[in-house]
Structure formats: structure tokens, C-alpha cells
Structure 1
């Protein structure tokens, strides 16, 4: 059994913002596969599907970004999912817009959603899919930058990265994570 959790902030106010690329990937997976969110528990929206005989749980925590672990932990406990079978999708300021990177484990890198996930799971041993959103220009505060939509110039790269991330998630449903990393970390 695997859990794919896309991080973001709930509510229309945050739709389409840089901080919500994790939600965008989950929405893309739902759309591509004709899946629907069926459960609104564990402080999140989730869909439980079976792919090649394995249960896959898609999760959009509704706790707001900084408390993401408060949704991920109860879900993984309920379904008895090991931390190494969790993939967390989130925005990354240190990657240019449109870039996608997968990692098997690591620190939080200053990302509060990942910090919360590490704190609640009690380990750094979960998989990550980072989506580049670039850094703010002109001394714009990071908090303002991440809560803004992508610019017209960035939109194409952002949409492409969401599709690439969804493809990587689908690949992980059928292949080992190192194989997926080799394929998508180009």
C-alpha cells in the first residue's frame, strides 16, 4: 500500500498559488485516471484506488501547509502504511519553475509542510517529489511569493511540471522508486 500526499492550503483563496502545486498534482492524478475524492477524514481529502493489485491512497491535507503532518500521520496509522511507502509532493523555492526532483529521504530544507510531516511521522525516511517554483524577485517576501499564482510567463512551465510530477507518481505505482528517480531526475 502506498500514500501519495500533495501539500497545499485549502480554500478557493489558495487555488492556483505556487504553494499549492502538491494539490495540483493530486488533482491531475484524479483527472487523468477518472478517480474521485471519496473520503474527507484524517483532516484531508482522500481517494483510495487499486493499481495492479496494490492500494494507492491520494491525500490532500486540509490542515493548511504548516500542519500537513497532522493529516498524513493519522491516515498512515489507519491504513498501516510505512513511512518509506509515503510520497510527499511539495513546492521548492530552490528549484527553477518547471523543474521536478525526486528524493528518497532528507531534511525539511526550511519547508514547514515537510517539517510538520517529519515531526508527525517521527522520521525523515519518506519519499519526496519537489516541484520548482523559483525564488521571488525584487526582495518580495517569501510568504507573499508562495501565496501568489504563477505569472503568465511561468504558467506553461508550471503546468508542464504538474503533468511530469503526475507521470512520476504513476510510474511509482508500477516501478521501484530508484527506477522512477532515474527516469525523472534528468
Structure 2
């Protein structure tokens, strides 16, 4: 049975719960709520295992904080013996408008410190990433406040449908492959 590591990036703690930077956590929490699995605290991450259409999905929400996510990714990749091509990192992206997403088989961190740390720890950029658009409606010098801020009311209303779409892309990556998922979901 093929195994996949799905990593939702975010920061732990209630003060970060509905912030833009926690989009990765929100996607995995949405999947758990929809499909009836739960996360438990383990080494370096909250983890869950779930079987879907003949695939073993191992989902993690690193507890190392965003900028040290690579430690958790590397640990569970080795612990679960999951090949790099079966890893998907789900993360926020301020360079995409809210509601847009982009799945790529590899790439640069693009200024994202969580991805940068994963690149450094794994010594490669050859892993899939699903970038979740959070927009960039902030003044110069206010980026940190923006990404660590909560979604405004109009986006909160749209958020459940957006998270559902992102969860669909994640499952398509695991069951149909990255090319199919990119062709059908990238905008």
C-alpha cells in the first residue's frame, strides 16, 4: 500500500488558531472533521493516520513552530519510510490571492521560512507543495502582522468552501497523482 506524508504548516497555540499563517493546519483539521480521524500529540507533531482509496495517509501538524518545520518532516519521513515524491507540504502563500491555490512538484521557498527550513533539513527542494492563497492586503512593513492576523469576516464566510477545495486537491495528489491534481485544480 502506497504511503503519503501530508504536512500542514502552521504555528501551535490558540493565539494562532485562525490566522492566515495557519492555513496548513486548518486544511488538515478540516479533513479530520470531514473524514472522522483525530490527531494525537507525538514527537515533534500532532499526527494522524488514515486510509483513503487504498492509500495510507500519514498527516502531521508540526509543533516545532513554522520556521523549524523541517525537523518534523524529516523525522516522520524516515519514521514512516515515505519517499520524497509522496510528500505534500500544505502552506499559506501571501503572493496568491485569497481563494487561489497552486500545486507544484518542487520549487523554491519563495520567502516562506517554513519551506526554507524544510529545504535546508531535507537538502532538497524536490518535494510537492500546495500553496494556499491568503492575499497580500497589507502596507509595506506590515507583512508579519498580516500573516499572523485573522481572516476578515468576508473571507471567513468563504473559508469552509476554500478548505474543502484544498482538501480535495490533497486527496487527488495521493490517489490520482500530482499531474492529474495540477491539471484539475491549479488556477
Residue correspondence of structure 1 range 112-151 to structure 2 within 5 A: 112-139=113-140, 141-151=142-152
Q: Distance in 1 between matches of 2:54 and 2:28?
A: 20
Q: Distance in 1 between matches of 2:159 and 2:94?
A: 13
The answer as to 2:28 corresponding to 1:26 is yes
Please give the secondary structure, in 2, of the residue aligned with 1:108.
coil
Please give the secondary structure, in 2, of the residue aligned with 1:173.
helix
Q: Distance in 2 between matches of 1:104 and 1:127?
A: 4
Q: Distance in 1 between matches of 2:167 and 2:24?
A: 10
Question: Contact 2:88 / 2:127 at 8 angstroms: preserved in 1?
Answer: yes
Question: Contact 2:55 / 2:175 at 8 angstroms: preserved in 1?
Answer: no
Q: Distance in 1 between matches of 2:161 and 2:136?
A: 18
Provide the aligned C-alpha RMSD in A: 1.3
Structure 2 stretches lacking a partner, 5+ long: none
Give 1:140 deviation, angstroms: 5.2
Q: Distance in 2 between matches of 1:100 and 1:27?
A: 18
> Please, which moves more after superposition, 103-112 or 47-56?
47-56
Please give the secondary structure, in 1, of the residue aligned with 2:34.
helix
Question: Contact 2:6 / 2:58 at 8 angstroms: preserved in 1?
Answer: yes
Q: Distance in 2 between matches of 1:177 and 1:124?
A: 16
Aligned length: 185
Q: Distance in 2 between matches of 1:60 and 1:160?
A: 21
Q: Distance in 2 between matches of 1:50 and 1:138?
A: 44
Question: Contact 1:100 / 1:161 at 8 angstroms: preserved in 2?
Answer: no
Give the structure-2-normalised TM-score.
0.94
Q: Give the match for residue 35 of structure 1.
A: 37
Q: Distance in 2 between matches of 1:179 and 1:8?
A: 27
